[in-house]
Amino acid sequence: MRRFCLQLPLLGLIAAASILGYAGTDRQSHKVLIRDVATVEGVRDNSLIGYGLVVGLKGTGDRQQTFFTVQTLASILARMGVQIPSASVRVNNVAAVFVTANLPPFARPGMHLDVMVSSSGDARSLEGGLLLLTPLYAADGQVYAAAQGPLVVGGYSVGSATNSKQVNHPTVGRVPGGALIERDSSVDLGKLQQLSLLLDEANFSTAEEVSCAINRELASTSARVVDSRRVEIQAPDDPRLIPALLARVENLEVRVRRRAKVVVNERTGTVVLGQDVRLAAVSILHGNFSIEVTTAYAVSQPNPLASGQTEVVPQSRVSTTEAPARNVAIEEGASVEELVSRLQAIGATARDVVSILQAIKAAGALEADLEVI
């Protein structure tokens, strides 16, 4: 079956004979520390967000039509006892921003956090700005930190609208240590009856390895596998021993067997693949067919003293190009790296490789998880 489309490759995939179910060698395993593949349940970061103003800009702030900036500035001045009409406020040196931060585990009041500041209006640059006191909220609606301080911008924008130069993103800045934690959000380990380890990647064999390593270290059966992602450990009777127990557990070595995976990005044509990805025997037929339509406009001019009118007449021309199909044969147990090298040798682009990998997965010849992002 042949499909015609504008400037898109035609891909035909013919699976060779029957796929023999390549057994291959066992995936190579390697040793890692438990802390590299698992985290303690409840010990995690929390996202914070706030809305505020950046002042002190040199005419690169929001424009007058950005109404929420004007309203915010008027509201701040009203709380300070200055009553002004919103229509008379000029915000060239002011920019409305969103402030974000990550609240680390066991954060205590008085600790400092780095915050990111991003323009929410039409400001051209935040360079040289000062973030006014901004409360930072968590998902529960409570204020956990307050941010304020001068911005560090990793770019600049100079010039006018007709002649300007910009480097990086001058509308995003950072305030190092600019947030002060105001509320305690740490987990009380002493109240935990069970310590749960959550694996970063769900895998029954890894969970069993973690459980066995903990039981060998503790010379007991206090660790058990709940599912492919969770391993529970019996907490000691004395809560003060929990940090020491977790310190012993997170430094244990376990043998991990990673799942073979291929990650492709159709938007950019990027293909990322693991070393242990293998293919079954397969034959690929690849060719290109394109249709190009061009339209030229000619002017029909009447003769002198004639009663005709000048008309613009379109002249369309259609041309087609079809390249001969090229065949790529892959042997049993070949790696994806070999496939990509052969496809590049016949002139396949990165987007062609993405489409071919998807077709191979659909044919059952790709022995790995294919993830499209």
**Rounded to two decimals, what is the model's pTM?**
0.65
What percent of the chain clears pLDDT 70, i.e. is strictly above it?
79
User: Domain residues of the chain, as ranges?
Assistant: 9-24+262-372, 30-42+188-256, 46-181
Burial profile 258-278: b = 16 or more Cβ within 10 angstroms, e = fewer: bebebebeeeeeebebbebbb
Q: What is the mean pLDDT of residues 262-273?
A: 76
Nearest to 133 by CA among 109, 99, 171: 99
Q: Check residue 132 and give its pLDDT.
A: 94
Mean pLDDT of the residues in the chain: 79
* 328 vs 294: CA distance, rounded Å: 34
Burial profile 51-76: b = 16 or more Cβ within 10 angstroms, e = fewer: ebbbbbbeebbbeeebeebbebbbeb
- Alpha helices per DSSP H over 199-332: 204-218, 242-250
DSSP sequence for 245-281? HHHHHHT-EEEE-PPPEEEEETTTTEEEE-TT-EE-S
What does the DSSP 8-state code read for residue 54? E
Q: Check residue 319 and give its pLDDT.
A: 66
Angle at which helices 242-250 and 204-218 cross, to 10° = 120
CATH 1.10.20.10 fits 30-42+188-256, yes or no: no
Q: Please, what sign has the CA dihedral across residues 337, 340, 345, 346?
A: positive
Phi-psi region of 347 (alpha: psi -120 to 50; beta: other; left: phi over 0): left
| Residue 231 in this model has a pLDDT that exceeds 90 | yes
Q: Using an 8 Å Cβ cutoff, are 145 and 46 in contact?
A: no
- Strand (E) or helix (H) holding 357: helix 350-362
Fill in the amino acid letter for 81.
G
**Greatest mean pLDDT range, 19-28, 143-152, 190-199, 361-370:** 143-152
Fill in the amino acid letter for 242.
I
The pLDDT tens digits of the residues spanning 65-77 come to 778 888 888 888 8
The strands making up 223-225's β-sheet, listed across from edge to edge, are 38-40, 194-199, 230-234, 223-225
The pLDDT tens digits of the residues spanning 148-163 come to 999 998 776 666 655 6
CA 216 to chain centre: 38
* 57 vs 160: CA distance, rounded Å: 16
Phi-psi region of 11 (alpha: psi -120 to 50; beta: other; left: phi over 0): beta
